[in-house]
A and B are shown apart, each in its own frame.
Chain A
Amino acid sequence: MTDLALEPASRGAPQTSSRGAISIRNVVKTYGSGASQVTAVDDCSFEVAAGEICMVVGPSGCGKTSLLNAIAGFHDITSGEILIDGETICGPDRPMAAPGPDRVVVFQNGALFPWKTNLENVAFGPTMQGTMTEAAAKARARSLLAEVGLDDVAERFPGEISSGMRRRVEIARAVINEPRVLLLDEPYRALDALTKQVMHEALLELYYRNKVTIFFITHDLEEAVFLGHKLVISTARPCRPKTIIEVDIPHPRDRSVITSPRFRELMEAAHEAVRQEAVAAFQAGDKEG
């Protein structure tokens, strides 16, 4: 096992990784049956390249989370298939993927274990899987926490630190498993704009050190353009890619790109694409979700 924390080597531009390519092919997800049937995802197809940051953007409650849940293995899909690195994780023969440490989710409202210290939280994955001894997992967890600047709160409980810190701990808890795909479900939704900016840079920092495909759900356009290689703009419910915008601003990025003209142009394009859908969703009266 290579100690990624000690090798901030490939801080370069386009990420090349052989792991974590996601293929979403004609995925349909419906809930309920008969008159009360709701289609959350409808004939959705797109590709996420290995090592890419893919931002899935759409109005709240449009069914993006259903897609994420299908990849994570929390929900089945009604039809279609999802592949990771060419391997079918769910499809016609097996509607529900098995959750596993190769696809770790960072949840919307946070899901650290309140009864475990931050260190124990981060060490949880490898310890449970038995891929590391508890001592080794803790050592690795400590270095990961140090990497995100949280070594001094390692022994504290999640309830004792700020929500921004909790998010970083949670991402460290995911990254320690060296997943092929990191699934982020609007993780920064509840944070204020300033904290968000700090979190974005911290996430990119982590990303440059640990090659991993990121599947990131958001409805914040600035966040999407700042972080993503690619924006998949979804239609309002049911969720289906409406436009795909390639963000050609080179990585590594920092705060300064926000003021660049290209960033503005991309924001404008994304805004245009998303506006109609937001209006549609608003008129449908969907609750937040």
Chain B
Amino acid sequence: MTEIDAKALGADGAVRTASAFPPTPTTVARRPFRASPKLPLSLVGFAAFLLAWHLAVEVWRLPRFAKLPGLVEVFVEWTSTDPMYGVSLFTAEYYQHILVSLKRIVAAFSAATLLGVPLGLLLGWSQRFREYVFPVFETLRPVPILAWVPISIILFSGAETSVVFLTFIAAFFVTTLNTMTGVQSIDPSVVRAARCLGASPRQIFRHIVAPGALPHIFTGLQVSMGVSWFSLVAAEMVSGEFGLGYLINTAYAKIQYPTIAIGMITLGAVGYASSALVRLVGARLMAWRLREIGVGR
């Protein structure tokens, strides 16, 4: 229990989850399939997907599919200046929902990063600290995020704080764990080299441990961004006003089915963009890594 289980981690030591959209991170092994999808073929894929959606729902009206919002219906609603259900690209309400969700993500993700990275560095760096703190951490970690909902409502009066808290918790565990793994993944020879070159423990922390853990930290942050959205949507569906999870939830209740699809697509896009942003920042900070695998320069 006091040791992180290496097998629970991905090939590059990062915890991957479904909601972790980014997992196309910096591993070399992944690059081939980033590069390979050729545009025309991928267009065939998208066309087939959209056509299947359109045909199943709106043309053939297959059993069960017929109830789902159709492609044309969703597209028309989304791009309408006067949407039937009040939410489209041209309404302020649409952006308000996005903005509220984004604000919550920024607050929770920043808090999780600001607390999780230092904690993870400390856990990886000090054996004594790890042996005291990590068991507590590992006792709390298996509890699913949504199981915290009632507790967070009890602890924080007001839906807003408890939604942010739930989002924070999910991100915090991922970030901390990956940062710790990052520190532990540093080649011990590198630390020894620094010691025999006369670096003090503080200098080793600053010049060796922190940069050495950076690749794992950023993989962790990408995953963390993914789980943030995962939890945010769940939390917004349970409690909270505004936000994309709330939008989907109320659209269901009001039988505004096209709006559900709009909400889902928007969530996918915004989630993907925020992970891409994290990846971009990571790439800037780790020029050495990109140049090593020959992408930079």
Residues of A participating in the B interface, judged by any CB pair closer than 8 Å: 72-74, 99-101, 103-105, 107-117, 124-125, 128-129, 156-157, 159-160, 173-174, 177
Roughly how many angstroms separate A105 CA and B208 CA in the complex, as a whole number?
17
* Nearest CB of chain B from residue A20's CB, rounded to whole Å: 15
Roughly how many angstroms separate A80 CA and B190 CA in the complex, as a whole number?
28
* Nearest CB of chain A from residue B296's CB, rounded to whole Å: 9
Roughly how many angstroms separate A133 CA and B189 CA in the complex, as a whole number?
26
A-B contact pairs, 22 of them (CB 8 A): A73-B195, A100-B198, A101-B197, A104-B196, A105-B193, A107-B193, A110-B189, A111-B193, A113-B190, A113-B194, A113-B207, A113-B212, A114-B292, A125-B198, A128-B198, A128-B200, A129-B198, A157-B292, A159-B289, A159-B293, A160-B291, A173-B197
Would you call B192 and A107 a contact (CB within 8 A)? yes
Would you call B288 and A177 a contact (CB within 8 A)? no
Would you call B214 and A115 a contact (CB within 8 A)? yes
A interface footprint on B258-291 (CB within 8 Å = 1, 0 otherwise): 0000000000000000000000000000101101
Would you call A99 and B291 a contact (CB within 8 A)? no
Would you call A115 and B196 a contact (CB within 8 A)? no
Question: Which chain A residues border B208 with CB–CB below 8 Å?
Answer: 113
Would you call A111 and B189 a contact (CB within 8 A)? yes
Question: Which chain A residues border B194 with CB–CB below 8 Å?
Answer: 113, 124, 128
Would you call A99 and B196 a contact (CB within 8 A)? yes
The total number of A-B Cβ pairs within 8 Å is: 83
Does B199 belong to the interface (CB within 8 Å)? yes
Does B3 belong to the interface (CB within 8 Å)? no
Roughly how many angstroms separate A60 CA and B100 CA in the complex, as a whole number?
63
Do A72 and B192 contact each other (CB < 8 Å), given the known contacts A115-B214, A124-B199, A125-B198? Answer: yes
Do A157 and B197 contact each other (CB < 8 Å), given the known contacts A74-B192, A113-B190? Answer: no
Would you call A114 and B193 a contact (CB within 8 A)? no
* Nearest CB of chain A from residue B267's CB, rounded to whole Å: 35
Do A177 and B198 contact each other (CB < 8 Å), given the known contacts A111-B189, A111-B192, A115-B214? Answer: yes
Question: Which chain A residues border B198 with CB–CB below 8 Å?
Answer: 100-101, 125, 128-129, 177
Would you call A111 and B291 a contact (CB within 8 A)? no
Question: Which chain B residues border A173 with CB–CB below 8 Å?
Answer: 197
Does B203 belong to the interface (CB within 8 Å)? yes
Contact residues on B (Cβ < 8 Å of other chain), bracket: 20 to 34
Nearest residue (CB) in A for B203 is A128
- Which of B195, B207, B289, B292 meets A99, CB within 8 Å? B195
Nearest residue (CB) in A for B191 is A111
Does B211 belong to the interface (CB within 8 Å)? yes
Quick one: which of A104, A116, A128 has the most chain B CB within 10 A? A128
A111-B189, A113-B194, A124-B194 given; 10 more Cβ-contact pairs under 8 Å = A72-B196, A73-B196, A107-B193, A108-B189, A111-B187, A111-B192, A113-B193, A116-B211, A116-B288, A128-B207
Roughly how many angstroms separate A73 CA and B286 CA in the complex, as a whole number?
32
* Nearest CB of chain A from residue B49's CB, rounded to whole Å: 40
* Nearest CB of chain A from residue B46's CB, rounded to whole Å: 37
Would you call A159 and B197 a contact (CB within 8 A)? no
Nearest residue (CB) in A for B192 is A74
Do A157 and B291 contact each other (CB < 8 Å), given the known contacts A74-B192, A115-B211? Answer: yes
* Nearest CB of chain A from residue B66's CB, rounded to whole Å: 56
Would you call A105 and B286 a contact (CB within 8 A)? no
Roughly how many angstroms separate A156 CA and B288 CA in the complex, as a whole number?
9
Nearest residue (CB) in B for A160 is B291
Roughly how many angstroms separate A129 CA and B199 CA in the complex, as a whole number?
6
Question: Which chain A residues border B207 with CB–CB below 8 Å?
Answer: 113, 116, 124, 128
Question: Which chain B residues border A157 with CB–CB below 8 Å?
Answer: 288, 291-292
* Nearest CB of chain A from residue B179's CB, rounded to whole Å: 16
Would you call B190 and A109 a contact (CB within 8 A)? no
Roughly how many angstroms separate A107 CA and B193 CA in the complex, as a whole number?
8
Question: Which chain B residues border A104 with CB–CB below 8 Å?
Answer: 196-197
Nearest residue (CB) in A for B210 is A115
Do A115 and B212 contact each other (CB < 8 Å), given the known contacts A100-B198, A101-B198? Answer: yes
Would you call B190 and A160 a contact (CB within 8 A)? no
* Nearest CB of chain B from residue A132's CB, rounded to whole Å: 12
Question: Which chain A residues border B200 with CB–CB below 8 Å?
Answer: 128
Roughly how many angstroms separate A128 CA and B197 CA in the complex, as a whole number?
8
* Nearest CB of chain B from residue A15's CB, rounded to whole Å: 23
Question: Which chain B residues border A174 with CB–CB below 8 Å?
Answer: 197
Nearest residue (CB) in A for B297 is A160
